[in-house]
Amino acid sequence: MSQYRQNLSGDMAFKSFIPVMTANIYIEYTPDILIPLNEAKTLLCELNSVSSKLNNEQINEVLLKECELSWQLASGEVLPTCYLSYDNSIEQERNIEDQKEIDDLYEASIYGIGSLNNLPISGRLLKNCHYIMCNSPRYEKKYPGEFRTSPIWIGNSKSTLKNAQFVPPVNNDMTEAFSDLEMFIHEEDSETDLLIKAAIIHYQFEMIHPFIDGNGRIGRLLNTLYLIENKQLIKPTLILSYALKKRNIGYYSMLQKVNHSGKYEDWVVYFLNAIKEAASYSIQELNGYK
């Protein structure tokens, strides 16, 4: 079961989440995991094959689709069931501020991917991406490019630290958990498949919630950076946010389910199936460029 820290006392008391250290996370490789794992690997190989035939302009167009869908997921926009290709009318209907957020996420993604030759995936890299992504008056008071130092909470507009649905780790726990996550990302562990690690990394990052705002978008960018750095993707052409957005209710509930049960297998299966669906969709999109 997950652990929580009791903070303060009296009317100010609240409980915050304490992430499990990655060394204590165990995944049993059951058929329920192995089957979607192998299918996801096969589809990613096919996606890489298709991606290798595209030029940079086409690759960047696909990356922009991922950024738009990641922004939609963060903003709560509903994905039309008929969304099979990029629709410029969606962009035209969006206000200037919202479109700028998508463009800024795209610029942050370009920066992050381009920096992998010089910087490891780290707090420094993600902070830089966050700073670029939050280049807007909307984020002036949300410390762009900096990890938070104060508690935050997730819930409805009437929630407080005391009754929120989820309170991420407070500063000391957050710092320790992120340092552990950094080591896990770069740990050479031949026993843990890279896609399984990607699932764990995404869960850990979202539970650590190191920024005041924008954790979902940066966490999904982290997926792309990790898969590219570990040569699971040769180009940023996996539109993972498409699958996560189609499954958005399950996305958030699966993350929370791990907190309640302390078991990761259902989340891993969910994540692998999302990669499968995203890879299949991405292949379909890329084939349209031929």
Token pair of 237 as six digits: 């052409």
Residue 8 within a domain? no
What pLDDT score does 190 carry?
A: 74
What is the average pLDDT value for the chain, to the nearest integer?
Answer: 91
What pLDDT score does 188 carry?
A: 86
Cα separation of 278 and 46, whole Å? 12
pTM of this prediction?
0.91
Give the residue-averaged pLDDT of 133-148. 94
- Identify the residue with better confidence: 250 or 132: 132
The model's confidence at residue 246, banded by pLDDT at 50, 70 and 90, is confident
Cα separation of 50 and 53, whole Å? 6
Q: Does the structure show a pLDDT above 90 at 52?
A: yes
Residue 159 within a domain? no
Total domain count, the chain: 1
Q: Does the structure show a pLDDT above 50 at 276?
A: yes
Share of the chain above pLDDT 70, in %: 93
Range of the domain at 128: 27-143+169-287
Q: Tens digits of per-residue pLDDT, 87-113? A: 444 444 568 889 999 999 999 999 999
CB atoms within 10 A of CB 265: 17
Residue 160 within a domain? no
Residue 282 within a domain? yes
What pLDDT score does 77 carry?
A: 52
Cα separation of 181 and 164, whole Å? 25
**Contact yes or no for 107/132 (Cβ under 8 A):** yes
Residue 258 within a domain? yes
Q: Does the structure show a pLDDT above 50 at 83?
A: no
Q: Tens digits of per-residue pLDDT, 184-224? A: 999 987 789 999 999 999 999 999 999 999 999 999 999 99
Residue with tokens 């699958």: 243
Q: Does the structure show a pLDDT above 50 at 84?
A: no
Cα separation of 107 and 103, whole Å? 6
What pLDDT score does 288 carry?
A: 83
3-class secondary structure per residue, 247-284: CHHHHHHHHHHHHHHCCCHHHHHHHHHHHHHHHHHHHH
Strand partners, 115: none
- Identify the residue with better confidence: 68 or 248: 68
What pLDDT score does 2 carry?
A: 76
Run of H or E residues at 242? helix 240-246
What pLDDT score does 290 carry?
A: 61
Cα separation of 209 and 224, whole Å? 18
81 exposed, middle or buried (CB, 10 Å; 0-12, 13-18, 19+)?
A: exposed
- Identify the residue with better confidence: 129 or 245: 129
Give the residue-averaged pLDDT of 235-251. 90
- Of 287, 272, 288, the C-alpha closest to 44 is 272
Cα separation of 133 and 127, whole Å? 10
The model's confidence at residue 248, banded by pLDDT at 50, 70 and 90, is confident
Residue 94 within a domain? yes
The amino acid at residue 114 is: G
What pLDDT score does 153 carry?
A: 94
Residue 180 within a domain? yes
Q: Does the structure show a pLDDT above 90 at 86?
A: no
Token pair of 59 as six digits: 């690759």
247 exposed, middle or buried (CB, 10 Å; 0-12, 13-18, 19+)?
A: middle
Q: Does the structure show a pLDDT above 60 at 80?
A: no
**Contact yes or no for 100/136 (Cβ under 8 A):** yes
What pLDDT score does 250 carry?
A: 81
Run of H or E residues at 106? helix 96-115
Give the residue-averaged pLDDT of 53-63. 95
Q: Does the structure show a pLDDT above 60 at 67?
A: yes
Residue 1 within a domain? no
Q: CATH number for the domain including 216?
A: 1.10.3290.10
